[in-house]
Amino acid sequence: MVSSKVHFTQYMNDSFEEEIQNLFFFHPDQKTYKKRILQSIIKFGKPELINHESGLTFRLVGNSDSHQTLFVHSKQGDSILLGIVIWVKTENTMNLAHLLLNKSFTPSENEYNFREIMLGLIKMSSFFKGIDSIGLVYTNK
């Protein structure tokens, strides 16, 4: 665990497949970020949910760079999926190629969850050799 408020795991149990697919591929804000999502796919590869021997994770098809999926859930464990982060290391940057928040929370809860996720990622990035910045690949601008 990196942050006291959220928990990051690389893999999720198969029982979360439908929830993960709905969050990632059918996110209600997808239209708002469509152009940036497509730019991220072109730059980093197409996300594909796979069943790894350790559980569900994403791979980026067409990407040979170092990348990692992080499922974000509540401190209680896997019971509440707060979000999904796929990041790609390029040179000295942790690029957040995809960052999705579970929209079933209120805007203030999501703002809090986003803040805790970012604090966790900042702390986590300090453990990786050569990472000195975090890049947000798409925003609503």
Q: What is the pLDDT of residue 112?
A: 86
List all residues 6 or more positions away from 45 whose beta carbon is below 8 Å from its beta carbon.
60, 61, 62, 63, 67
Q: pTM value?
A: 0.87
Cα–Cα distance for residue pair 66/85, rounded to 1 Å: 14
Q: What is the pLDDT of residue 75?
A: 65
Q: What is the pLDDT of residue 69?
A: 94
Cα–Cα distance for residue pair 37/97, rounded to 1 Å: 8
* Cβ atoms of residues 31 and 103 within 8 Å: no
Sign for the pseudo-dihedral over CA of 28, 32, 33, 34 = positive
Structural domains present in the chain: 6-136 (3.40.630)
Q: What is the pLDDT of residue 127?
A: 86
Q: What is the pLDDT of residue 130?
A: 85
Q: What is the pLDDT of residue 25?
A: 93
Q: What is the pLDDT of residue 140?
A: 56
Cα–Cα distance for residue pair 84/71, rounded to 1 Å: 5
Q: What is the pLDDT of residue 110?
A: 82
Q: What is the pLDDT of residue 103?
A: 85
Helices (H) and strands (E) in the chain, counts: 3, 7
pLDDT per residue, tens digit, the chain (141 aa), is: 344 578 899 999 999 999 999 999 998 888 888 888 999 999 899 999 999 999 999 999 987 668 899 999 886 555 788 899 999 988 889 999 999 988 888 888 888 888 888 999 999 888 888 888 998 876 655
* Cβ atoms of residues 113 and 101 within 8 Å: yes
